[in-house]
Amino acid sequence: MFADLHTTVISWYAVQARDLPWRRPGTTPWGVLVSEVMSQQTPVSRVAPVWEQWMARWPRPHDLAAAAPADVLRAWQRLGYPRRALRLRECAAAVVERFAGAVPMTEEELRTLPGVGEYTAAAVASFAHGRRALVLDTNVRRVLGRVVEGRALPPPCLTVAERRRAAALLPQDAALSVRWNEGVMELGAQVCTARAPRCDACPVADRCRWRLAGAPADPDAHRRRGQPWHGTDRQARGRIMARLRALPDGASLAEDELLAPLRTASTDPGQPERALASLLVDGLVAEPVAGRYALPT
């Protein structure tokens, strides 16, 4: 029933896929897992150079598990959400301790690892191990919603109906399912984008229900909230982390010195201290000496 759709998307992907480093021959399952964690809420254009440096330094779970937290946080650079870096280190330790250093193959086992949720487990099972798995990220949901259901954007939260529709579309053959997952995800990333879809370049535009219906507006637009950055606690946290990453090993900053730039720039008097306190709770900042702060060791 869906064979023609599968063939069209997979053939398009074979020609149009971006040359991302983790897609190249020889990439290990661990390399795929690292790429998936790094790519969460982060554009792959920013991830690619960091991933290459990371894998050159810590090519195996054993290597990352033995790394100092401060080194891991510095290597994460400005990818955002630095808790992911520490969770990835915890994940490496779990792979070493519980799976003898080999990234597990099943979704069930993958989901027992720190920082690995439903999507990441399915993606690693599919892209690293070639298993049939239902990979549903934002890009996939958007493509399937437009082509099959005629929606401008998927609902704010994944629904049972979405899951059933995607499962019905997933090829039964494992190898074919991997290429389908890759193709739909890439189509959403490159062509069927959220704000400016390039329908003229879409290989399935002639059967896209959303396009054929005249591209109706998003019925859930009023429910979606943007994620502000400037002036937020997230930005303040990022500035604190940037200052600490720039310190040499063993160095620390007094609170006044660490927070002075934030206190000057912030319109919220309590924000610098609040941001620092949250970083301490998350384990991203340590207080090796009372009143002085550094990356965790």
CA distance 210 to 152: 7
DSSP per residue, 108-173: HHHTTSTT--HHHHHHHHHHTT--------HHHHHHHIIIII--SS--SS--HHHHHHHHHHS-SS
Sign, Cα dihedral of 7, 11, 12, 14? positive
Long-range interactions of 199-203: CB distance < 8 A, separation 24+: 203/8, 203/9, 203/11, 203/12
List residues with catalytic annotation: 36
Other Cβ atoms within 10 Å of 217 Cβ, number: 8
CA distance 13 to 7: 10
The answer to whether 279 touches 241, Cβ cutoff 8 Å, is yes
The amino acid that residue 270 corresponds to is G
Find where tokens 């650079």 sit: 77
What one-character DSSP code corresponds to residue 66?
T
Dig out the tokens for 251 from the structure.
Answer: 């160095």
Residue count of the chain: 297
Task: State whether residue 253 is helix, strand or coil.
Answer: strand
CA distance 185 to 189: 6
CA distance 272 to 278: 10
